Amino acid sequence: MSLQGKTAVVTGSNSGIGLGVAWELAKAGANVVLNSFTDRDEDHELAKTMAAETGVEVRYIKADMSKGAECRDLIEQAGACDILVNNAGIQHVAPISEFPVDKWDAIIAINMNSAFHTTAAALPKMRAAGWGRVVNIASAHGLTASPFKSAYVSAKHGVVGMTKVVALETAQEPITANAICPGYVLTPLVEAQIPDTMKEYDMSREDVIKNVMLERQPSKEFATVEQLGGTVVFLCSDAATQITGTTISVDGGWTAL
């Protein structure tokens, strides 16, 4: 399928799932705006490499998704925004009574509030263009819970709820809004959780991977960033025109349990 002529903005896309999604969208022909809160040479190099390998236009725009004004400014700077992938996210693991307030605020801001700001700024552009796709990268934790992840689970449930509202508000327009709910994908975000989880459960790294992370993933395999990217591309295809306001789990059977 070709997304030629479309512009995709992927928040939090200099690493992990966002980067994988950006690659698949670029390979499908969309021009891509990469984003994170850093402004390093390697961020801009990433854009150059992706453009050279896929032949589409790729820009890197620095914007901190913990700040509402910067979220909105990202969409303004992008110019067109036909496909919006709200992916930026962070994690912190601690029992709720000890959960640091600054971590709670940051997770709610980056993982949930940013999607409100970018969507609010992007919808007028999609309406003007006569086509749009909002894809929120939620989580299996947008549908179920785990201990020690109060902020993350709250933010991801919030994103799933927001997705439904956006879908209803755009239901009679050529715009769809959906959430993808991945199970565990081995990215830097997951890698960073391993030491904390080892401490919480007093387990070795191997036991955390097998008995905590993939314990609830019946396939016993991590999902890949390419699979997530392919799911986003599918949601941008004509076949997905009537798919709106729903969640697609890419979780090896986790939420079937």
Give the type of residue at 236.
Answer: C
Query: Is residue 15 a contact point for ligand NAD (CB under 6 A)?
Result: yes
d(CA 2, CA 26): 10
Q: What is the DSSP string of 118-163?
A: HHHHHHHHHHHHT-EEEEEE--GGGTS--TT-HHHHHHHHHHHHHH
Query: Is residue 229 a contact point for ligand NAD (CB under 6 A)?
Result: no
Q: Which is nearer to ligand NAD, 37 or 234 (CB)?
A: 37
Binding ligand NAD (rule: CB under 6 A), the pick from 30, 93, 110, 143 is 110
Query: Is residue 74 a contact point for ligand NAD (CB under 6 A)?
Result: no
Query: Is residue 65 a contact point for ligand NAD (CB under 6 A)?
Result: yes
Question: DSSP 3-state assignment of 54?
Answer: helix
Query: Is residue 64 a contact point for ligand NAD (CB under 6 A)?
Result: yes
Which residues, other chains included, contact 108 with Cβ-Cβ below 8 Å and sequence gap of 6+? 151, 154, 155, 158
Beta bridge partners of 175: 132
Binding ligand NAD (rule: CB under 6 A), the pick from 7, 31, 87, 170 is 87
User: Which window, 15-23, 52-60, 116-124, 164-172, contacts ligand NAD (CB under 6 A)?
Assistant: 15-23
User: Which window, 75-83, 87-95, 169-177, 197-205, contacts ligand NAD (CB under 6 A)?
Assistant: 87-95
Residue with tokens 């314990």: 215
How many residues are present in the chain? 257
Q: Do residues 138 and 129 make contact, with C-beta atoms less than 8 angstroms apart?
A: no
Q: Do residues 18 and 110 make contact, with C-beta atoms less than 8 angstroms apart?
A: no
Binding residues for ligand NAD, rule CB under 6 A, total 27
Q: Which is nearer to ligand NAD, 35 or 244 (CB)?
A: 35
Q: Which is nearer to ligand NAD, 129 or 186 (CB)?
A: 186
Q: Which is nearer to ligand NAD, 176 or 222 (CB)?
A: 222
User: Which window, 44-52, 124-132, 169-177, 188-196, contacts ligand NAD (CB under 6 A)?
Assistant: 188-196
Residues with catalytic annotation? Answer: 152
Report the interhelical angle of 225-235 vs 16-27 (nearest 10°): 50
Query: Is residue 89 a contact point for ligand NAD (CB under 6 A)?
Result: yes
Beta bridge partners of 132: 175
Binding ligand NAD (rule: CB under 6 A), the pick from 41, 102, 172, 188 is 188
Interface residues with ligand NAD (CB under 6 A) are 12-18, 36-37, 64-66, 87-90, 110-111, 137, 139, 182, 184-185, 187-190
